[in-house]
Amino acid sequence: MDKVLKNSWALFLGMGFIMMSYGFQGSLLGVRAVQEEFSLTSTGFMMSGYFVGYFIGAATIPNIISRVGHIRVFAAFASLASLVILVHSIIIDPFVWFLLRVLTGISMVCIYTVAESWLNDRSSNKNRGSVLSIYMVILYGSMGIGMFLLNFSSPKNFQPFILISVITSAALIPILLTKKKPPTFKRIKAMSLKNLYEASPFGMVSSFFYGTIQSALFTLLAVYATSMNFTILEISIVTFLLAISGAVSQFPVGKISDIYDRRKVIVFSTFGAAIFALLAILVSRQMYLPDGLATSKTWFYIFLILFSFCSLPMFSLILAHTNDYIPKEKFVAAGAGLQFVFGLGAISGPFLCSIFMDIVGSNGFFLFLFFFHCVIGIFGIYRMKIRQTVENPDSQFVAMPQTITPAGIELNPTTEPIEEPIKEYEK
């Protein structure tokens, strides 16, 4: 472990700064959009730009890294992300912000891919699990800290945008000063969608709908809270609780899935999330009644924590379930395929959710989450009736962050590392 930290401290520190700025800007843009009186549909459209960019970046980044190397790519796209956030404060327009979010998405997926492929190169079969655990702690912890920075200054001011730019730029310092030699990039090919569906229909379909849920959840939660008249501090608390609860839940839920039928755990988790989303709606309706009748926000926080506890481990559960039906040598390829499908679903999430909110009001946010979690659960029950559970001794639950890239999936300690880069992508 000490060796891992010694060899990777610069990367971990840089990613800490990146995730701090990522958590900050996600909440900031949502709150500012409401304050600028963007329509809910415009806000959802604008926020979806991130996932469009993420999808574009995921397809193009392998060629870029193989040509110019890890350090240059990290520096270039961290600089781009730093510049883009400043433009948000200059031009206040939903369509312009959509384009800027596309650039942010491209930048972030490039940074993630650099970091995760670098960590893979620094890892061995013995310590890959430890490396992934440290990486997850840094991702969720830094993102949670960033969400509290929303209290730094009013979202109407330009100072928060400058602070995000400063934090993002700070990520460059440890990376550029490291003496460690960057790795050779190893391109990871995904399974074809046809083969992935044949291997695990439930895994592929649930990954798509879960991408829809996750993108809406993280981009529009601050919008929902603002529309419900939460204070800036309360919005920070809400977003922080979401991230931390999701991180804490990974391991207990994962252990349960290694003991019991993984599909049943996914179904129970998704219906649990649906129930707590519904309870959040019911509680929120009571928060703004006249004095004496209004309820405390405490119950809302509790139901949000429980929702996150059930919902956020699901990508890791879906990945482990898919691995139950394929040989060990295809784990990385299947994971890359699921991440691709997840990204497809994520593109539509914020826009569709904003339509729900436009039609039924602010609580359309939780109604959207309730609906799609139920879709996953119903399809899971259907699949359990037509396909028997199989036992794959090579498959086990491994906690994975929702932002994981195909390069990061290789950090799964149950997979075999890719030893040789594909020749056509070598320098």
For the chain, which residues make up each domain, given as ranges? Answer: 11-177+188-419
Per-residue pLDDT for 425 more than 50?
no
Per-residue pLDDT for 237 more than 50?
yes
Q: Which two tokens stand for residue 4?
A: 């891992």
Rg of the chain in Å (alpha carbons): 21
Contact present, 397 and 320 (Cβ < 8 Å): yes
Domain 11-177+188-419: which CATH class?
mainly alpha
Return the closest-CA partner of residue 220 out of 416, 367, 318. Answer: 367
Per-residue pLDDT for 422 more than 90?
no
Within a 10 A sphere around the Cβ of 229, how many other Cβ atoms? 10
Question: What does the chain come to in residues?
Answer: 427
Report the alpha-carbon distance of residue 113 to residue 405 in Å, rounded. 6
Report the alpha-carbon distance of residue 343 to residue 346 in Å, rounded. 5
Straight-line distance from the first to the last Cα atom of the chain, in angstroms, rounded to the nearest whole number: 32
Q: Is 256 exposed, middle or buried (0-12, 13-18, 19+ CB in 10 A)?
A: middle
Q: Which two tokens stand for residue 335?
A: 């994971």
Report the alpha-carbon distance of residue 138 to residue 76 in Å, rounded. 22
pLDDT tens figures, 312-371: 989 989 988 888 888 877 888 888 888 889 989 999 999 999 999 999 888 899 999 999
**In the structure, what pLDDT confidence band is assigned to residue 85 with cuts at 50, 70 and 90?**
very high
pLDDT tens figures, 42-56: 999 999 999 999 988
pLDDT tens figures, 269-303: 999 999 999 999 888 765 554 554 455 688 889 99
pLDDT tens figures, 98-132: 999 999 999 999 888 888 888 877 777 677 777 88
Q: Give the CA distances from residue 163 to residues 32, 186, 218, 260, in Å, rounded to whole numbers and listed in that order.
A: 15, 35, 21, 46
Q: What mean pLDDT is predicted for residues 187-205? A: 85
Contact present, 170 and 17 (Cβ < 8 Å): yes
- Vertex 229: Cα angle to 225 and 235 (nearest 5): 40
Report the alpha-carbon distance of residue 225 to residue 235 in Å, rounded. 6
Helix axes 262-284, 314-323, angle to 10 degrees: 160
Q: Phi first, then psi: what are they for 180, rounded to 5°? A: -70, 140
Q: Containing H/E element for 10?
A: helix 2-35
Q: Which two tokens stand for residue 371?
A: 């609906």
